[in-house]
Amino acid sequence: MQTVFITGTDTDAGKTYVAVALLQGLKALGHRTVAQKPVAAGVNESGFNTDALQLQQHATAALSYQQVNPYCLTDAVAPHLAAAKAELVIDSSILTKELQKLQNVDADIALVEGAGGWLLPLGDHSTMADWVTEQQLPVLLVVGMKLGCLNHALLTVREIEHSGLKLLGWVANCIDPDMAYQQENIRYLQQKLTAPCLGVLPYQSEPQINTELATAFVQALLD
């Protein structure tokens, strides 16, 4: 199984949106998939995180909600703050055990979606990036195309590269339909980032099956 961690330039970059588009495209190409959101903050009226529910719905492997989202925190704030309010500690060893369980599922590709941006705190002394580096997972970056994204993307890539992890590529997710000079911003990142742009997702309410993105993603895994 190939396992990939999906991070974003910030909280609203569209990690889940891109993950769902990938899961749909990979399924259309005949790949068996599994997905996980280890830490999520914010729940619906039933007590579930909607991002995690989407991952559960669109992966081909049938998993329980607990398997998809080991840490489900009620408040829609930074997870370490939500955990503190709930008198919980986000234990990275539990994240590792749950990842290992995920990797034993009968599937070809596992997508592990982060929360927030790359340096999201899990507690006072650790970040999600620390855990991903410990697991040595290759990374896919979602760039939410909006004013300020150039700085966010360049800094995030610098941190990922500093960690020694492989950046498989990045996806330009057009979250702002009114963004000025959108294509010029995308071209700038294509010139400045050494990792390939695997796709550009247009602004739309729901992700569509995108076999081109899925094909580019699989090729990046093989390179």
Question: Please, what is the angle between helix 50-58 and helix 15-28, to 10°?
Answer: 10
Q: How many residues does the chain have?
A: 223
Measured between alpha carbons, how far is residue 84 from residues 111, 119, 199 in Å? 27, 18, 38
The C-alpha torsion from 5 through 138 and 215 to 205, rounded to 10°, is 30
Residue 14 assigned as binding residue: yes
| Annotated binding-site residue? 72 | no
Catalytic residue among 27, 37, 85, 166, which? 37
15 assigned binding-site residue: yes
Residue 199 in marked binding region: no
Answer yes or no: is 47 a known binding residue. no
113 is in an annotated binding site: yes
216 carries a ligand binding annotation: no
Is 13 annotated in a binding site? The answer is: yes
217-220 long-range contacts (CB < 8 A, ≥24 apart) are 217/22, 217/25, 217/26, 217/140, 217/168, 217/169, 218/26, 218/29, 218/31, 218/109, 220/168, 220/169, 220/196
The amino acid that residue 164 corresponds to is: G
Task: Based on the residue annotation, tell me whether 37 is a catalytic residue of this protein.
Answer: yes
Residue 12 marked ligand-binding: yes
List residues with catalytic annotation: 37
Binding residues: 12-17, 51, 113-116, 173-174
Binding residues for Mg(2+): 16, 51, 113
Binding residues for ATP: 12-17, 51, 113-116, 173-174
